Chains A and B, each alone.
Chain A
Amino acid sequence: MAVFLIRRILSAVPLLFGISVLVFILMAVAPGDFLDVARSQEDIPAEYIERMEEEFALGEPWHTRYFIWLGNVVRGNLGESWIYRVPVTELLAQRVPATLVLSALSILFALCIAIPMGVLAAIYKDSVFDRISSLFAYAALSIPEFFLALLAVMFAAQTGLFPIGGLSSVEHEFMSFWGRMADYAHHLVLPTIVLGMGSVASYMRIMRANFLDYIRSDFVTTARAKGVPEGRVMFVHVLRNAINPLVSASGFILATLLSGSILVENVMNYPGLGQLIFEALMRQDEFVVVAAVMMGCIMLMLGNLIADLLLAWSDPRIRLEKN
């Protein structure tokens, strides 16, 4: 177990190096540098800019700059954001939890809908429910997230049932603790549904296919022959096995969620990591881009790691040490 963990974490290191180098190169290829914005702002004193130029060696080629940045990172200094005039670490501390909560809720939402639907579709195969749910899966996979987000905003604006965007309302500061939580929840409903919709369909299809696979396997026939009640066969013997592939699919689904969150967060004005990356890239806020992209990749790797650990826990046939 420990060996597996250490190996996985070590193998992530070169990947993260690669990503940071790539982002640096891409930012260097794009014309202009990130101080262009700062220079055009009158309220930033010239000495400050000069100090920054020196500190991050802007005149140097990208590889020199990269190593200086790396040195700063090792000392815990991720640089500063030009848009917000705060250290990048502070910015990430605000944004990452928001996206984490959104992604986790979306996965949870997807699982809660997809498992029952997939199971029912498999048990009542070829029934009306099966047809409708597979039609729904096609639709959910084919609708662009940003279009769904637009529709959700339209729905919110027309009915007034939900806020049109954001993370919290204006009077948030004056609410009690539970009031605040309810406020967050109210704001999270639509983004969660929008972001999770595609995953519902993916999970559901996997669930149905696996359930059908296991229904025909020998151990199910044996259980039935021994006289185990049908409900117990389905929900204990079959379901227990069919759930494992869902866990291993979660890593892939998390990747699509992180991509999708850029679009959904932009449309619904949700202050998360995706919105931050997009805004920073547009305004060449270099340190924010590098740190936020790395953060997204770290989240993805951690998600994959957790999925692997969960799979090992739920499927004892898998021995992590052998991987």
Chain B
Amino acid sequence: MVKHLLQEILRRPLGMLCLSVLGLLYACTIFSQFLAPYLPTDQDLEKAYHPPTRIVLKDWRPHVQIYEQVDPAAARYEPVHGETAAISFFAPGREYRLWGLIPAETRLFQVEEPHRIYLLGSDGTGRDVFSRLLYGAQVSLSIGFIGICITMTLGFLLGGVAGYFGGRVDFLAMRLVEFIIAVPSLYLLIALRGALAEHFEPEQMYLVIVIILSLIGWAGAARIIRGMALSLRERPFILASEVMGQSSIKVLFRHFLPNLASYLLVAATLSIPAYILAEAALSFLGLGIQEPGTSWGLMLQQAQELKVFTLNLWWLLTPGAAIFITVITFNVLGDVLRDIVDPRQQMIKR
């Protein structure tokens, strides 16, 4: 089924485009340590709010333009005419452990210290925005997947059990769902975070965010799965397996799960953006990933300074563009998937 789906997606230009964009994003994330010239924590206080450095060709090799600070208060830098530093590719630099395991020291590109290459400028403490974007992607791009796995499992179990068994279980589960849906989600997120965070270390915030997002996210999925389970349970093949004495758990996993799989897949793809946006929103409010960690939302929070707005330091807003691109790709991919899985919906759309 997965192979067939993949073929169908690749047959459509939009699906192809989305898959390639996502593939590129995830590849960048996985190899961020290799691609990023600096660590997300590498500071250079003398180069605060540095604009993106220009790349020039000199002797047919790319060089990076060197700048000097003209006005520290207004963060103004002027290029020093004729002075450049060579960019070295695949050169050894400071050691790191790829994925925390393999020791390595090669990086895609870097320049000799004390010069710096800022593809997307630097932030208030001279950290490279480009490197931070790459490292921040690790949070933003993984949280959706992990969150959705937990949510869909919870949603399937609770919704399936409620729909299949009905009665008191159903009543209780549905009142809980209604309760969660009745509160604006960000209210609940913030309140839950306030209660949970103090019991964890700041480094474990990632875990906390996943937990609270999953605790809230399952409700919507459970309600729809319950509805589908309600109609499934009257179908002859379910009745037959019951008559033959299959246990409820087996019925749930052998017969309900395959029939709900396509819905689960589409719902998962369409809900990933919600997770990415919620993590970004929490981090943006200062309630998510904490320093020295980095995430796109946290970077935007740090860009929320009057200086940035009045001096037009646009490169500090690039994490927003990154979130936007990721989310729009998942949204379009979700719609393409829905068209494939549920042709009836597509007919309505046309």
Contact = CB atoms under 8 A, between A and B. Distances in A.
Contacts of A139: 324, 328
A92 interface: no
A255 interface: yes
A296 interface: yes
Contact of B184 (A29, A143, A255): A255
11 contacts: A15-B182, A26-B195, A30-B198, A138-B332, A139-B328, A150-B317, A154-B314, A157-B310, A164-B306, A212-B348, A277-B190
Contacts of A29: 195-196
Interface stretch (A76-84, A112-120, A187-195, A259-267): A259-267
B197 to A, nearest CB: 8
Nearest to A208: B349
Contacts, number: 127
A181 interface: no
B281 interface: yes
B194 A138 contact: no
Contacts of B195: 25-27, 29-30
Contacts of B280: 144, 146
B256 to A, nearest CB: 27
B322 to A, nearest CB: 10
A263 B285 contact: yes
Given A26-B192, A278-B285, A147 B331 contact: no
Nearest to A255: B184
B319 to A, nearest CB: 8
From B182, B303, B314, name the one whose CB has the most chain A CB atoms within 10 angstroms.
B182
B182 A297 contact: yes
A277 B327 CA distance: 27
B317 A144 contact: no
Interface string B174-187: 00001101111111
Nearest to B303: A150
A147 B320 contact: yes
From B190, B314, B332, name the one whose CB has the most chain A CB atoms within 10 angstroms.
B190
A10 to B, nearest CB: 15
Contact of B190 (A18, A213, A262): A262
Interface string B289-323: 00000000000100110101110101001001001
A293 B187 contact: yes
Interface in B168-211: 178-179, 181-187, 190-192, 194-196, 198
Which secondary structure dominates chain A's binding surface? helix
Interface string A250-272: 00000110111011001100000
Contacts of B350: 212
Question: Which of under 10, 10 to 19, 20 to 34, or 35 or more describes the interface residues of B?
Answer: 35 or more
Contacts of A141: 328, 331
A277 B182 contact: no
A293 B183 contact: yes
A19 B183 contact: yes
A154 B186 contact: no
Contacts of B198: 30-31
A143 B327 CA distance: 8
Interface residues of A, number: 49
Contacts of B260: none
B67 interface: no
B284 interface: yes
A153 interface: yes
Given A147-B320, A147-B323, A297 B183 contact: yes
B273 interface: yes
A296 B187 contact: yes
Given A27-B195, A281-B190, A142 B324 contact: yes
A105 interface: no
Given A154-B317, A263-B281, A26 B194 contact: yes
For the complex of A and B, the 7 pairs showing the least CB-CB separation, nearest first, are A147-B320, A259-B186, A157-B309, A142-B328, A26-B195, A258-B184, A142-B327
Contacts of A301: 182
B199 to A, nearest CB: 8
B277 interface: yes
B349 A146 contact: no
B273 A209 contact: no
Contacts of B196: 29
A139 B349 CA distance: 19
Given A141-B328, A278-B285, 19 more contacts: A15-B182, A19-B183, A22-B191, A30-B194, A139-B328, A142-B273, A143-B320, A144-B277, A147-B317, A147-B320, A150-B303, A151-B320, A157-B306, A212-B350, A255-B185, A263-B285, A278-B190, A289-B191, A293-B183
A142 B183 contact: no
A164 B185 CA distance: 27
Contacts of A296: 183-184, 187
A300 interface: yes
Contacts of A144: 277, 280-281, 284, 320, 323-324, 327
B285 A158 contact: no
A151 B308 CA distance: 11
Interface string A125-145: 000000000000011011111
A23 interface: yes
Given A147-B324, A150-B304, A154-B312, A23 B191 contact: yes
Contacts of A151: 317, 320
Contacts of B348: 209, 212-213
